[in-house]
Amino acid sequence: MGRVFVTGSTDGLGLAAARSLARAGHEVVLHARSRQRADAVSRLLPDARHVVIGDLSNANDVRSLASQVNDIGRMNAIIHNAGVYLQPDRGTTAEGHATTIAVNTLAPYMLTALIERPDRLVYLSSGMHRSGDSSLSDIDWQTRRWQASTAYSESKLHVAALAFAFARLWPDTLSNAVDPGWVPTKMGGPSATDDLEMGHQTQVWLAVQDDREAMTSGGYWYHRQHQQPSPAVRDVRFQDSLIQRLAEMTGVTLK
């Protein structure tokens, strides 16, 4: 049995994944944005061994989260599930970043860099990443007019590219991206038409299963089937430029 950290595990796909892992006997480390949400998820999933707390839109909280996870011990797998969807405006974090980029791109990058390297990394992307702009000239929406859908698509392009970059840079770690589909969670809404069960089970499968397909790296998955991502995801120059830009924005470099 493995120890698995799941970000954004108080509801939706993250909670579903955490429940599935706990039922299978894995040691689950939950993540909540606040103490109130941590107390709520502890009641929902009493079998979870640990809950770490931190707001992913705040860089100091992200650093604290990484320390909390490292204090627990080395993770076998990390599922970067947390994210925000269509934000009504750019917003401004404590560091001056757009909320969407802070939560969906900067936080998973920082956590990956700061947490002791696990055996497996799983990043939640989206089919919307294919409409994301691979230009990094205004990644933080400082000059462009805010477009919520475009910002979300770009952030999901970023995390997919990070998954492929880490598969290349860290050959001893299995790293993959997952498109869960349009599923009926609080984020997806009640009109969503995709399979919620397959949406979270693909994450779980890549995080802990030992069959041949799950033990591969550098894949983009939808319902346990390989899909072709945007060409930018596989572009090594884009991957390296993205990592360099994120390091500049966060002050955190990969080890």
**Residue 69's pLDDT band (cuts 50, 70, 90):** very high
In a domain, 255, yes or no: no
Long-range residue pairs from 14-18, CB within 8 A, at least 24 positions apart, any chain: 14/79, 14/81, 14/82, 15/41, 15/44, 15/45, 16/196, 16/199, 16/200, 17/79, 17/81, 17/200, 17/203, 17/204, 17/207, 18/45, 18/48
Residue 141: give the domain boundaries.
3-250
**Residue 128's pLDDT band (cuts 50, 70, 90):** very high
In a domain, 56, yes or no: yes
pTM of the full predicted structure? 0.94
Domain with 64 in it: what CATH number?
Answer: 3.40.50.720
Over the stretch 167-197, which tens digit does the pLDDT of each residue have?
Answer: 999 999 999 999 997 555 455 445 544 556 6
Is 152 an annotated catalytic residue? Answer: yes
Is 156 an annotated catalytic residue? Answer: yes
In a domain, 216, yes or no: yes
In a domain, 196, yes or no: yes
Is the pLDDT assigned to residue 151 strictly greater than 90? yes
In a domain, 245, yes or no: yes
Selected catalytic residue, list 152, 220, 222, 255: 152
With H, G, I as helix, E, B as strand and everything else as coil, classify residue 78: strand
Residue type (1 letter), 127:
G
What's the total number of domains in the chain? Answer: 1
Phi, psi of 5 (to 5 degrees): -100, 130
In a domain, 83, yes or no: yes
**Residue 156's pLDDT band (cuts 50, 70, 90):** very high
In a domain, 34, yes or no: yes
Selected catalytic residue, list 85, 109, 123, 156: 156
Write down the pLDDT at residue 192: 47
In a domain, 107, yes or no: yes
Longest CA–CA separation in the chain, Å: 48
